[in-house]
Amino acid sequence: MINFTGQFNLKTDVCCGDKSIAHRALILGSLAHGTSVIRNVTPSKDVISTANCLRALGADITFSGTTVTVEPITKLPKKTVTLDCGNSATTARLLAGVVAGLGVKARFVGDESLTKRPMQRVIEPLTAMGAKFVLKRNCLFELRASKLHGATINASVNSAQVKSAVLLAGLFVEETTRYVEQLPTRNHTELMLRSLGANIDVCGNQITVCKSVLRPLDIDIPNDTSSVAFGVALAVAKGVKATFPSVLLNETRLGFYRVLQRSGADISFDNVREVGGERAGDIVVNGTGDTSVLKPIIATAQDVIDCIDEVTLLATLALTVEGEHKFSNVCELQHKECNRIQAIQHIAEQCSQQAIFDGKDLTVISNGKLPKNRYFTSFDDHRIAMCEAILSISVGGGSIDKAPFNISFPQFLFMLGISPKRFGLIGENVSDSKSPRLMAHLASQAGICCSYDTVNLPRDISDDKLLEVISAFDGLNVTMPFKNRVATLLNAQCPTVNTVGRNIEPQSTDGYGIMQSLQSHAIDIHNKSLWIVGAGGAAEACIRELVGRGCKLQILNRTKSHAVRLCDKYGISGEVSNPEGILSFVPPCQFEERLPFPGSVKFVLVADYKGYSNLRTVALECELPVIDGLEMLYHQGAKSFALWTDTPVQCECRDFLEIIDKDTVQ
């Protein structure tokens, strides 16, 4: 989770080499005759995936900051090589053409998102050239060694990646390979091949290529058009002046800027020059402070092709502008890292606006009056997350469930001039925790820019590694099985901790959360007789609080020795036959289900909020008050957040419980 306020400070001199150029430079450098030097390479996860795959094919690639040296492939692998493309469809599709040309046997794999991306579009044209593909489970595809031949390929989709795959494969074929486009797509591959001396010719919508010997590269990559677009969008939305230097200005990549210019944004290009066969220059946003000058945003089919990666950003920006906005022929957005049409509709719905898709075109209808502090889902898509970040800042605040910016733009937050406090939760199995949602709520209420990550750690992690993880955060919640261990490692005053931070004493807020939850239900537990179910860290924190309030306790636990240990530690003796309340700290299990339910019980607290609880069910049937674990989570989390941020504790949990109810229904 990451929460944004309305604060930002654009740093327009960010170095973010164009990702499309970087992929191609690494690939062609690996095929060239000689050593290539590539500067201003952004080490995003996608670019690293391409580099790693090329290394597996035999290239020697060395990163030194943002400068990369490439020694070409001279010795092909003899056995089947596995190419892990990560999240990058560019890596998979372009390297399919390279591997087919090299005649290598290779298995292409990727992450869960990439496995859902369409690959048939690249398989079909390469198969027409003689490539042999095999489709198997648990991989994108497998390529068998084969000999390619020339062919004429008529594009079935408007895709620069498919075109590039065919052209790269054509570099290995004696005969001519001809690729015919429906509509022009980005032409980075053609331009770079021409600059390296390839046998390539471009005539209208037809590109021909045949076997070539490539010169090595020596190139300074211009800054990424798509990455800079997010800074431009924020400048336009907030009406501020900004100049982004040394940006790629390839005509096939400027659809985003043309559309905004037609909509009334004052955007111009300055200091235009040629860099490595590509047009580059400065993008200037002449903000006037008045954002009402923007008219409805209209993108034609050609515009969409020329800004396919920025359509979601345009659609998000459209929500801030009153009117009806249209985007033509956007079907391709359904086949990106997520279904970006559905993602746009989610963003619009969260902002109480409309996004309508008719199967081909997208219409966004907005009154331009957007609420702040909305919670967005990123769908694990880096571009959707960045769109939601820009929108959140533009309207004065908002949160995103995940922030995978590093996939394409590691310096995204730096460009925005934002340094979120980093908070998180560590445990053995915390992926489904409600804590990130809680912290988003607390952060938006307090106006704090911060992130909150859940980190699953193995039970047997070493002490050094555990301390290393802890030191990476400004504040951290700790859950089982690490509460006691962290307390020992950090020399805490209490035996179990659930809250640590840079400027606070390690402590447990579990007891506070329990007491605050009981107090909110007007339950007085002073000197009462109670049952405690469980003997873990939360149970012990509760026992410490209750013993200090003069309560008579009986501890019930499946492993009796654990209960005896706590009884001895806190001086608890005897049984409680008529408890006035039961406080359970165990997950749903047979032990909890078989516990008796004395008639003396007047309330029940069930700390677990994830599953069935017999105690909860019986208490509700008896019409007794039930304190849910979500309330305890809220209060202990609110206390942790207040400690980390030095802000007052937010005691009202009603809004958070309503949010969780709404999320559950959805």
pLDDT in tens, 267-281: 999 999 988 789 999
Residue 531 has φ and ψ, to the nearest 5°, of -100, 135
pLDDT at 314: 98
pLDDT per residue as tens digits for the range 437-454? 999 999 999 999 999 999
Task: Give pLDDT, residue 78.
Answer: 86
C-alpha distance from residue 33 to each of 59, 216, 341 (Å):
12, 6, 43
* Per-residue pLDDT at 466 exceeds 90: yes
Mean pLDDT confidence for 575-602: 93
Inform me whether the pLDDT recorded for 361 exceeds 90: yes
Say whether pLDDT at 289 is over 70: no
Assess whether pLDDT exceeds 90 at residue 638. yes
pLDDT at position 608 is 86
Distance CA 318, CA 356 (A): 13
DSSP for 282-296 reads EEEEE--S-GGGPPP
Mean pLDDT of all residues in 399-409:
94
Q: In terms of pLDDT, which residue wins out, 179 or 610?
A: 179
Q: Are 471 and 419 in contact (CB under 8 A)?
A: no
What residues contact residue 467 under an 8 Å CB cut-off, 6+ apart? 489
Question: Tokens 């802000």 identify what position?
Answer: 647
Q: Which two tokens stand for residue 110?
A: 């990727």
Say what the pLDDT of residue 245 is.
96
Neighbouring CB atoms inside 10 A of 441's CB total 25
Does this model's pTM top 0.75? Answer: yes
Predicted confidence at residue 665, as pLDDT, reads 47
Reference 627, options 499, 522, 542, 487; nearest CA is: 522
Tell me how far apart the alpha carbons of residues 645 and 559 are, in angstroms, rounded to a whole number.
39
Q: Give yes or no for residue 521 having a pLDDT over 60.
A: yes
DSSP conformational letter for 17: B
What proportion of the chain, given as a percentage, has pLDDT over 90? Answer: 88
Question: What is the average pLDDT across 344-357?
Answer: 98
What whole-number distance in Å separates Cα of residue 413 and Cα of residue 642?
24
- The 3-state DSSP class for residue 324 equals strand
How far, in Å, CA of 635 to CA of 499, rounded?
Answer: 13
pLDDT digits (tens, 9 = 90+) for 300-340: 999 999 999 999 999 999 999 999 999 999 999 999 989 99
Query: 77-108: per-residue pLDDT in tens?
Result: 989 999 999 999 999 999 999 999 999 999 99
Alpha carbons within 13 angstroms on the beta-carbon side of residue 588 total 8
- Helix, strand and coil percent figures for the chain, each rounded to 5: 40, 20, 40
Distance CA 389, CA 88 (A): 22
Rounded CA-CA distance 418/413 in Å is: 5
Sheet with strand 177-180: strands edge to edge = 152-154, 177-180, 206-209, 200-203
* Choice among 50-54, 403-407, 487-491, 571-575 with the minimum mean pLDDT: 571-575
For tokens 């015919």, the residue is: 180
For residue 666, the model assigns a pLDDT of: 54
Under the banding of pLDDT at 50, 70 and 90, the label for residue 345 is: very high
Q: What is the pLDDT of residues 31-44, one digit of tens each?
A: 999 999 999 999 99
Q: What is the rounded distance in angstroms from the CA atom of residue 448 to the CA atom of residue 433? A: 21
CA distance 560 to 568: 12
Question: How would you class 578 by CB atoms within 10 Å of its CB: exposed for 0-12, middle for 13-18, buried for 19 or more?
Answer: exposed
Which backbone phi and psi does 501 adopt, to 5 degrees? -170, 165
- Give ∠ CA 586-587-593 in degrees, rounded to 5: 85
Give φ, ψ of 584 to 5 degrees. -105, 135
Q: Write down the pLDDT at residue 480.
A: 87
- In eight-state DSSP terms, residue 72 is P
3-state secondary structure (DSSP) of residue 649: coil
Distances (CA, A) of 525 to 511, 542, 553, 602, 603: 13, 12, 11, 11, 10
- Token readout for 645 is 């941020």
Query: What average pLDDT does the chain have?
Result: 94
Which long-range contacts does 531-534 make (Cβ < 8 Å, 24+ apart)? Answer: 531/556, 531/576, 531/579, 531/581, 531/582, 531/583, 532/556, 532/583, 532/585, 533/557, 533/582, 533/583, 533/584, 533/585, 533/586, 533/592, 533/595, 533/615, 534/584, 534/585, 534/586, 534/607
Instruction: Give yes or no for a contact between 56 and 83, defined as CB atoms under 8 angstroms apart.
Output: yes
Between 309-323, 427-441, 602-616, the lowest mean confidence (pLDDT) is in 602-616
> What would the pLDDT profile of 219-258 be if each residue is shown by its tens digit?
999 999 999 999 999 999 999 999 999 999 999 999 999 9
Question: CA dist 422 to 11, 40, 337, 583, Å?
Answer: 21, 28, 26, 33
Q: Which of 416, 473, 20, 471 is nearest to 244 (CA)?
A: 416
Catalytic residue ranges = 309
CA distance 59 to 513: 57
- Cα dihedral 33, 35, 37, 38, rounded to 10, equals 40
* Cα 442 from Cα 310, distance rounded (Å): 32
- Provide mean pLDDT across the span 57-77: 96
- Residue 359, Cβ neighbours under 10 Å: how many? 7
Which residue bears the tokens 């704090």? Answer: 448
Question: Once rounded to an integer, what is the mean pLDDT over residues 278-305?
Answer: 88
Determine the Cα–Cα distance for residues 261 and 251; give it in Å rounded to an integer: 14
Give the span between the Cα atoms of 628 and 645, in whole angstroms.
26
Task: Return the structure tokens found at 30.
Answer: 């690996």
87 closest CA partner among 385, 488, 327, 502: 385
Q: Which letter, b or e, does each residue of 110-140 get, where b requires 16 or more Cβ atoms within 10 Å of its Cβ?
A: bbebbeebebebbbebbeebebebeeeeebb
Joined together, the tokens standing for residue 520 give 């909110």
Give the model's pLDDT for residue 290.
62
Give me the amino acid identity at 460.
D
Q: Rounded to an integer, what distance in angstroms lies between the CA atom of residue 526 and that of residue 495?
A: 23
In the block, which residue shows the tokens 């198969």?
A: 127
What is the DSSP secondary-structure string of 232-263? HHHHHHHT-EEEEEEEE--GGG-HHHHHHHHT
CA distance 321 to 32: 48
Q: Which residues contact 186 (CB under 8 A, 6 or more apart)?
A: 20, 160, 250, 252, 253, 306
Of the candidates 42, 462, 70, the one whose C-alpha atom is nearest the C-alpha of residue 248 is 42
**Does residue 420 contact residue 385 with C-beta atoms inside 8 Å?**
no
Rounded to an integer, the average pLDDT of 472-483 is 95
